[in-house]
Amino acid sequence: MLEEGKKRIWAEYQKAVPDNNYYFVRSCIRQTFFPGSEQAFIRIIRNELGKDIYETPYHTTCTGIGYHSDIIPFETTMTVVARQFALMTEAGYSNYIPSCITSFGLYTEVLETWHHFPEIEAHIRENLWKATKREFKIPDNLSHPSDIFYHFRKNIAEKAKYSLVDIESGQPLNVVEHIGCHYSKMFPGKGIGGAEYPCVLIGMIEAWGGNAIDYPERRHCCGFGFRQYIVQSNRGYSVSCSRKKFESMKPYQPDLILTNCPGCPMFLDRWQYVISEIEGKTYGKNNQGIPVFTYEELAGLILGYDPWELGLQLHQIDCEPLLKKMGIKYNPSEKYLGYNREYIGKPEITKNLFHCC
Amino acid sequence: MSFGFNILKDRQIDFDTNDLSLARFLSLYEPSFRLCISCGGCTATCIANHHSGLSLRKIFILINRGITADIKHELDNCMLCGKCVIACPRGVNTRGLILKISELTKNSEI
Amino acid sequence: MNKKVVVVGGGIAGIEASAFLSYMGFEVVLVEKENTLGGHVLNWEKLFPTMRYGSEVLDFLLQGISPKVNVYTCCEVNSISKKEHQFFVELSNGENFISDAVLVTTGYDLFDARIKEEYGYGIYENVFTSADLEMIFTAKKTLLTKQNKVPLKIGFVHCVGSRDEKVGNVYCSKVCCVTAVKQSIEIKQIYPDSEIYCFYMDLRMYGMHFEHLYKEAQEKYGVHFIRGRLSECFENVDKSILVKVEDTLTGRPLKMNVDILVLMVGFVPRKSTKKIADLIGLENGRNGFFKTKDQHTLTNVSNIPGVFFAGCCTSPKTITNTITDARAAASTIASYLLHHEIDKRTINLAP
């Protein structure tokens, strides 16, 4: 692999990422699957980087899931998006940071539509006024939180207590990066690094000491897509998509998978269990799965946050082997203690997949 | 444990793992086999194609890809009329190849 | 009172046109940017469809460059200005000429395969272009993978940078299909046990004997042709290239591993000719090559009276066609300079 070829492409696909004053919008599902992630993001931005980040409880879903499942028409979606922008304008911000990748893709799509068809934008402004008496300004900048972390990856690396290195052998960990489809496949120019070799996660991995793996099914969708998994009998399609990726990455012996979408880590994490039940196959060493992380969780880990506060106990694939590899200190007995130190319950033991405790 | 769904079979032809032995044998036995460009002239003129779906074009392609599990009985309906030989623009000995493939099928060599 | 012609570009078109013009009795100045004449043919070992050496053709053409032709190598045209029927030409070495006609034979560039990001040229070590392969043949080097292993499976990808909306080149580059067939045969001659797969959208075997070459490649050498466009390729752990193609004839996606992947890069208009175009005011056609005055009858004539074209600067051509085109340009220029009646024919222009 000749890295200069990739670097040349990355130089062509750079975008402006704002330095401060972020208007943060949460994801519908990320908080359910990975409760610690968004909290970690806000904590890192405020406490570690000292930046201003604002969120309001009045914001709603962007309706991306409904739009992509053909349940909500585009005009409704655009009006909801307009309301989100109106809340941002009223709060006095202009840098819009949506937590979800699908949202990011949707907002980009809506802004591009309005850019090329100003009459639609005028119509939506009218809709919003009639429905809520609100007005909005187009954000100066639309970035994804992973772009922000990419922008500050070296600052995070400076404050890091751990790095992506196997402490026993001293070798960097093999990290597979997985970008959400809606980040750069629809509009390659809006993603850092473009659509073929996006570098937003590779930049983080390399800054934090790891070794980024490139494998053949790198750009394959994990199968989330909304349409297929909403109906139970279609989920076989989703599982097959993820399985194709696992089969392709296995020869490279990855230590972990890093993603930036809320849906992808959910699927890549949970489907390893489903595949182990249906086919009896696992993809890590010793019947272990490959642990899957979001970028907020990984940043939090290397900054020394408590893994259970980050919500890692809710992962299907146990993270403890990786924590041991990185030399991260954690308290095993606190794993199933919740927010108020109450016992939150323990999952059933899996048949084929390694379960450490 | 039943999840209500199952892992789907992959449609992608994994060329490296397919068995190309029949294609290799036919290439040596009848070198004109290599000249087929899948133009479909043979299949279009084939009488059996109209009523039984016998597609010589498809059979040759499947052999070349190593997907030979499906072709065991495909050639049963061929009447050996020879129209395909007349139609072929590249001079492939289609009738001779049909006879050879049928012979190999009967001897269960596929 | 000898009329003078300045020929810009010392590839085979420039060489042959200069040769004919000088033997017709005109004074010729041949200007070439590089330090040798010959252009792209210098990097081509064997030519289709006969497999004869390109150097033989070049030697034949160069025999026509008599001492009467003033050859300037390592030289570019800095400025050209037209006054009435003459051109004031200034070269980068400081020399000036007053010329009665200008012949532009600046040729083409090869498509930069790095633009097709998904094919990984410049990223995956074992992805080559057809030009890289030809340079290996010309330098008489052994064809090996970048890991110094003998390649057992080689893939050829047709239409890289041609017939492709995404890179902005809609046209067909004409010569790449038959070059792929030629190079497949050459590799089979070196490694008879290798398996070669050509991934094509259409096979353009238009010329005389091209179809023979294609048949020979299939029958004698066993080259395989798979109809389907390469969507993307990747590098495996062992550095072989994983190829993903739609097998249109079975209607299913297909993947296979090859040791070396060769991209058949097409022709693009030469970037440096924009300078000449701007200097004289030459028009570009729809595809970025120079526009000829009429597509049937005036293919050597430009929109500026006294400025003519020959060779690939107007469209992709084979070597045979380029040599013919150069001789045609010489005749056209001669009849223009000598005010022959034949130069005054008219037609409703279809440019």
Domain ranges (residues) in chain A: 13-145, 153-334
- Encode pLDDT of A72-116 as tens digits: 999 999 999 999 999 999 999 999 999 999 999 999 999 999 999
Is the separation of the CB atoms in A130 and A136 below 8 Å? no
Question: Quick one: average pLDDT of A129-151?
Answer: 94
Kindly tell me if the per-residue pLDDT of B108 is higher than 70: no
Question: Quick one: average pLDDT of B32-56?
Answer: 92
Q: What is the ipTM of this complex?
A: 0.89
Interface test with B, best of A241, A270, A274 (most B CBs within 10 A): A274
- Encode pLDDT of C253-264 as tens digits: 999 999 999 999
What token pair was written down for A325?
Answer: 């590899």
Interface contact A5-C242, CB threshold 8 A: no
Non-local (6+) Cβ contacts of A319 within 8 A are A291, A293, A307, A312
**CB of B16 within 8 Å of any CB in chain C?**
yes
| pLDDT at res. A225 | 80
Interface contact B4-A277, CB threshold 8 A: no
How far, in Å, are A47, A332, C123, C181 from residue C222 at the CA level? 67, 63, 30, 11
Neighbours of chain B (3+ CB pairs under 8 A): A, C
| pLDDT at res. C274 | 82
Residue ranges of the alpha helices (H) in chain C?
A: 12-23, 54-62, 130-138, 176-190, 210-219, 273-280, 319-337
- Report pTM: 0.90
Q: Are strands A53-54 and A22-25 parallel, antiparallel or unpaired?
A: parallel
Kindly tell me if the per-residue pLDDT of A357 is higher than 70: no
Considering the domain A13-145 in this protein, what is its CATH number?
1.20.1050.140
Percentage of residues in chain A with pLDDT exceeding 90?
Answer: 72
Q: Positive or negative CA dihedral for A199, A203, A204, A210?
A: positive
Interface contact B4-A243, CB threshold 8 A: no
- Encode pLDDT of C82-130 as tens digits: 999 999 999 999 999 999 999 999 999 999 999 999 999 999 999 999 9
Interface contact B34-C218, CB threshold 8 A: yes
Question: Quick one: average pLDDT of C124-151?
Answer: 95
Kindly tell me if the per-residue pLDDT of C166 is higher than 70: yes
Reading phi first (left if > 0) and then psi (alpha if -120 to 50, else beta), residue C19 is in: alpha
* Closest in B12, B64, B90 to C253, CB measured: B12
Topology at the third CATH level for domain A153-334: Rossmann fold (3.40.50)
Q: Are strands C153-160 and C195-200 parallel, antiparallel or unpaired?
A: parallel
Enumerate the residues of chain C whose CB falls inside 8 A of the CB of residue A188. none
Neighbours of chain A (3+ CB pairs under 8 A): B, C
- Encode pLDDT of A208-219 as tens digits: 999 999 999 988
- Encode pLDDT of C187-218 as tens digits: 999 999 999 999 999 999 998 899 999 999 99
Interface test with A, best of B5, B6, B8, B17 (most A CBs within 10 A): B5
Question: Quick one: average pLDDT of A118-147?
Answer: 95
> Average pLDDT of chain C?
93
Question: Quick one: average pLDDT of A199-227?
Answer: 91
What token pair was written down for C114?
Answer: 């790095």
| pLDDT at res. B106 | 76
- Encode pLDDT of A273-309 as tens digits: 999 999 999 998 888 899 999 999 999 999 999 999 8
What token pair was written down for A278?
Answer: 């249906």
